[in-house]
Amino acid sequence: MKKSHKPVTQRQLRVGEMIKQALSMIFIRDEAKLPQLDTKEITVTEVRMSNDLKTAKAFVLPLGGKNSSDVIEKLKEFSFVIRKTLSKKITIKFLPKLLFVKDESFDYAEKIENLIKQTNK
């Protein structure tokens, strides 16, 4: 996905939220049978859509942050299986390509919180 300076549209937000909810349900119900991966332990925190709605960047985090790099690699490797399952869940003109990325926001929030605690001492 290219960096653009255009604001995020309502449509991008709606489609992103729809895909986030569908992915979450797929993972919770273990509908995409991925070998050696328990999808029930994966949290989808956000989905960002490209301007043309053809690429979806899904920010995911395994439960407790354990083995996050391994989980992300498995999701990338089997994204075609997840995409096929997703196609049965949502109706959209073009089913977006799925990119899986580790969500770093919780780590960043914890870092900020620790800095605030240090300054308050």
Mean pLDDT for the chain? 85
Residue 121 or residue 102, greater confidence: 102
Task: Tell me which residue range forms the domain holding 104.
Answer: 10-120
44-76 burial string, b = 16+ CB within 10 Å, else e?
beebbbbeebeebbbbbbbeeeeebeebbebbe
- Predicted pLDDT of residue 2: 55
User: For the chain, what is the domain count?
Assistant: 1
Inside any domain, residue 106: yes
CATH code of the domain in which 55 resides? 3.30.300.20
Residue 69 lies in a domain: yes
Higher pLDDT, 2 or 112: 112
Asked if residue 5 is part of any domain, the answer here is: no
Q: What is the pLDDT of residues 50-92, one digit of tens each?
A: 999 999 999 998 887 777 888 888 888 888 889 999 999 888 8
